[in-house]
């Protein structure tokens, strides 16, 4: 079956089923919002920043960008080393936070231009995220004095809002997907619907203009029959 999809058909389908499309889209958005709120565990992130002070390098080495980047990279890697994480685990003093577990929930990055180290911790508890990030920083400063010294810039603080999930992103994505899919569904139904219910349907099938229409006289026939039976 060859079907020609025209702009007229697209607009007709949209107008014809607009209310149903809106209702379906709103319902899906509400369901996604409820699911995000009550069934997805929020994850919080907290970041502490510190400046890496390269104290044991001479002025020539400090001016060498490649050398500086290598030292920053080495220090960033050492933050997640076994020694540093073991020290941090002992400082936290909680059997849950083993070195292996800390390695999974902590990320480390650095800004080579400003020589700033970023330590970010993730947790389902906002306070714990901040505590873990600060503890990792302190453990790194204690265990890696031979590489460089850390100068604190910002303490990690308990975040007010979760890092994930994002209610706005989830609802917006669900709204767009629900609108597109519901519209596509109605479009497919209209395309493969062979019933002729309007003059436009007839004209589209025959490719000829409609010059007249015969009204349905069933109600008139019923009325005459009722009158004749009443006599």
Q: What is the pLDDT of residue 223?
A: 55
Q: Is 189 exposed, middle or buried (0-12, 13-18, 19+ CB in 10 A)?
A: exposed
Residues 126 and 104 in one domain: yes
| pTM of the shown model | 0.71
Residue 195 belongs to a domain = yes
Sign of CA dihedral 168, 171, 176, 179: negative
Tell me the average pLDDT across 139-165. 90
Q: Which domain range does residue 15 map to?
A: 1-40+165-201
Taking only the tens place, the pLDDT of each residue in 19-45 is 999 999 999 999 999 999 999 999 999
Taking only the tens place, the pLDDT of each residue in 154-181 is 999 999 999 999 999 999 999 999 999 9
Residues 134 and 149 in one domain: yes
pLDDT at residue 62 is higher than 60: no
Cβ proximity of 68 and 62 under 8 Å:
yes
Residues 59 and 102 in one domain: yes
Residues 63 and 138 in one domain: yes
Residue 219 belongs to a domain = no
């Amino acid at each position: 079956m060859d079907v020609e999809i025209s702009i007229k058909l697209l607009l007709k389908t949209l107008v014809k089923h607009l209310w149903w499309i809106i209702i379906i889209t709103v319902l899906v958005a509400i369901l996604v919002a409820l699911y995000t709120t009550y069934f997805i565990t929020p994850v919080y992130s907290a970041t502490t920043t510190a400046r890496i002070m390269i104290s044991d390098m001479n002025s020539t080495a400090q001016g060498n960008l490649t050398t500086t980047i290598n030292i920053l990279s080495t220090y960033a890697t050492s933050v997640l080393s076994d020694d540093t994480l073991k020290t941090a685990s002992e400082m936290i003093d909680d059997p849950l936070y083993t070195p292996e577990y800390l390695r999974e929930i902590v990320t480390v990055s650095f800004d080579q231009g400003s020589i700033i180290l970023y330590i970010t911790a993730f947790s389902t508890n906002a306070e714990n995220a901040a505590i873990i990030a600060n503890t990792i920083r302190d453990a790194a400063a204690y265990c890696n004095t031979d590489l460089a010294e850390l100068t604190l810039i910002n303490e990690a603080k308990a975040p007010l809002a979760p890092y994930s999930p994002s209610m706005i992103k989830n609802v917006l994505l669900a709204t767009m997907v629900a609108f597109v899919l519901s519209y596509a569904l109605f479009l497919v139904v209209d395309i493969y619907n062979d019933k002729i219910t309007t003059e436009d349907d007839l004209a589209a099938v025959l490719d000829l203009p409609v010059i007249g229409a015969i009204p349905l006289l069933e109600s008139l026939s019923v009325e005459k029959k009722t009158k004749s039976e009443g006599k």
